[in-house]
Structure 1
């Protein structure tokens, strides 16, 4: 089974970030723990783990040499944009 977790590389090229104001997420940190992201999305960390296992959630980053998982604001905003329901209002 393929994984939705990508290893964090030291020499990655800078990503072009989506505007911070997208979806009203201007205060979202650039890098988040599963606990932080779960709080933002109002889901459990177990839900995030299930999404990772099923390749359904935002792209996760695996810190090399550890079991630490992190998420980026850029990947979160991209995932939210991909899953936006046409005509749905974004809640603030």
Structure 2
């Protein structure tokens, strides 16, 4: 798991009333933007989408574009335990 994902989850665990803006997550993000925020690749986000393991996303009908809402990413981080493995990460290392 990337250090930034752990840090965001830890911040949420310490102060659950903080809003998305306080964590500097944009309201709407492309996969590239979210990848930078979480320190993961766009391909990792794609694998999470296919496996249903990552944050919720939006795919406007008739397009090939995906968007992530900051509030959905926050909800995903909130439901993860701090220090938990990133979806698909090998924990048997």
TM-score range, shorter chain: 0.5 to 0.7
TM-score scaled by length of structure 2 = 0.65
1:82 aligned residue:
79
Q: How many correspondences in the alignment?
A: 66
Other-structure match for 2:19: 19
Q: Secondary structure at the residue paired with 1:61?
A: coil
Larger % of helix: which? 2
Moved over 3 A (4+): none
- The Cα RMSD (Å) is 1.8
Question: Structure 1 residue 28: deviation in Å?
Answer: 1.4
Report the TM-score when normalising by structure 1. 0.65
**Greater strand percent: which structure?**
1
Which residue is equivalent to 2:32? Answer: 35
Structure 2 residue ranges without an equivalent (≥5): 1-17, 84-93
